[in-house]
Structure 1
């Protein structure tokens, strides 16, 4: 099994793309071309990371970091997928996390942010490809692409370094009438059934004590998170990425009822019907 540092090295290269700032409803606020470069130094014992932002009619902004160890707030999977962010939610403080997926010459990253009132208020969608590659972007995700039955394999890793867990998943997504969606998720001997109201590219899950929404986004992406984090309620942040019509990845960053980051899960699922 690879070390966390070896997993990080899967992200080396020059990644060309954009940082797209969206509202909590998925409305476009700003789109900035970017180049993010991760370079290994000293035989890959140190990473030099630079982020260049090309704002229109402004000088290029560059941020450079060098590091030779990883913070407690970040974890990687063997294919290079990762998440970094807050390790503890608390009232009256800003909160958020980045979830990043990787597929060959493409990366997709999503940053979900909450304000001091614990309300979901902003997204940054980051779509990237390796320099010199012709990897194309996926179409905007549609609800019809998600309908059906998905069989998956999940890997869960833990920030306290306990052994990882692997298990099968099954997700059925069906449409009822014109404006309702029903989904059934089975994993690790648990079954969760939920329904949502369909409003264009937004799915509202309002049945529970903590309303959740899913945004369908460009490049086959989806954003799944609560509209407001509430004290005493466990919650999760999720990004999805439709790689092919029958292949999807999801990453879930889970928090306990005390607001503690407890694990990170990567699901790879295939549509079987």
Structure 2
């Protein structure tokens, strides 16, 4: 099994893209072109540089060199990753970042929460490897989500241990024009919830929202994080009409980050 450094280096290279800031309901606030470079400097060190090009302003450049992987980050075998706050507190800002990595494209997402736990901003980052043509994917639609999805999942834990793959099944069905029922199974665990359709969002009775995004993406998270309640945040990416990647970051009831789960699923009906 590749180690965390080998997984990280699946992201090596130069990526051209943009940072798009959205409100929780998906309204675009700004869009800034970007170039990001990750360079391997040894088997266990790297150099990171990102340059943003805001309209009417000088380029904004950030450079970092590192020889250890921050304990707030975990990298999957295909290069996908999560990073962010390791502890949620109602008295401070909180954020999670996700990256779904393909050989020549990445879909990244940042979810930011205000003190108190309310979702504040979503940052969508779409990137293509330098020298490769952009592949244009349509915004995710509710109709694309409807159906039965079966897949495999792998859990990555903070101690760098990795689970054996296990099966998943997700069924999304319309109960009415504005109501959706979702049932799921992950290994032996099962559950279901009902959501109301509101524009490009599904608002679940559990307090979560799923926001459909450009480029086939989705953002799932609590609308407000509740005290003493376990929660998860998730990014999804429809990479083919019937294939979807998902990556979750999971927090315990005491607010501590425990693990992440990578899922690849295929629509079968």
Aligned partners of 2:15 and 2:127 also within 8 Å: yes
Counterpart for residue 64 of structure 1 = 63
Counterpart for residue 143 of structure 1 = 142
Return the offset for 1:46. Answer: 2.2
Deviating runs (4+, > 3 A) in structure 1? none
Aligned partners of 2:154 and 2:162 also within 8 Å: no
What is the aligned length?
269
Return the offset for 1:160. Answer: 2.5
Counterpart for residue 4 of structure 2 = 4
CA deviation map 1:17-71 (0-9, x unaligned): 0000001111100100000011112x44421111100011111110000011101
Which residue, out of 205, 230, 233, partners 1:234?
A: 230
Q: Does 1:31 align with 2:27?
A: no
Counterpart for residue 153 of structure 1 = 152
Q: Structure 1: how far apart are the matches of 2:160 and 2:180? A: 37
Q: Report the 3-state secondary structure (helix = DSSP H, G, I; strand = E; otherwise coil) of the residue aligned with 2:210.
A: strand
Q: Does 1:220 align with 2:219?
A: no
CA deviation map 1:92-126 (0-9, x unaligned): 10001101101121000000010112111101000
Q: Structure 2: how far apart are the matches of 1:54 and 1:245? A: 33
Q: Structure 1: how far apart are the matches of 2:136 and 2:60? A: 25
1:186-225 alignment, distance < 5 Å: 186-206=185-205, 208=206, 211-225=207-221
Q: Which moved more, 1:162-171 or 1:89-98?
A: 162-171
| Uncovered stretches (5+) of structure 1, i.e. residues with no partner | none
Return the offset for 1:137. Answer: 2.6
Q: Could you say what the CA RMSD is over the residues aligned between the two structures, in angstroms?
A: 1.0
Q: Does 1:120 align with 2:116?
A: no
| Uncovered stretches (5+) of structure 2, i.e. residues with no partner | none
Q: Report the 3-state secondary structure (helix = DSSP H, G, I; strand = E; otherwise coil) of the residue aligned with 2:177.
A: coil
Q: Structure 2: how far apart are the matches of 1:165 and 1:112? A: 28
Q: Structure 1: how far apart are the matches of 2:74 and 2:159? A: 11
Counterpart for residue 178 of structure 1 = 177
Q: Report the 3-state secondary structure (helix = DSSP H, G, I; strand = E; otherwise coil) of the residue aligned with 1:240.
A: strand
Q: Does 1:270 align with 2:266?
A: yes
> Residues 163, 130 of structure 1: CA spacing in aligned structure 2 closer, same or farther, 3 A cutoff?
closer
CA deviation map 1:134-190 (0-9, x unaligned): 131311000111111100100001103344242100011111121000111011212
Aligned partners of 1:87 and 1:260 also within 8 Å: yes
Aligned partners of 1:141 and 1:220 also within 8 Å: yes
Q: Structure 2: how far apart are the matches of 1:26 and 1:200? A: 9
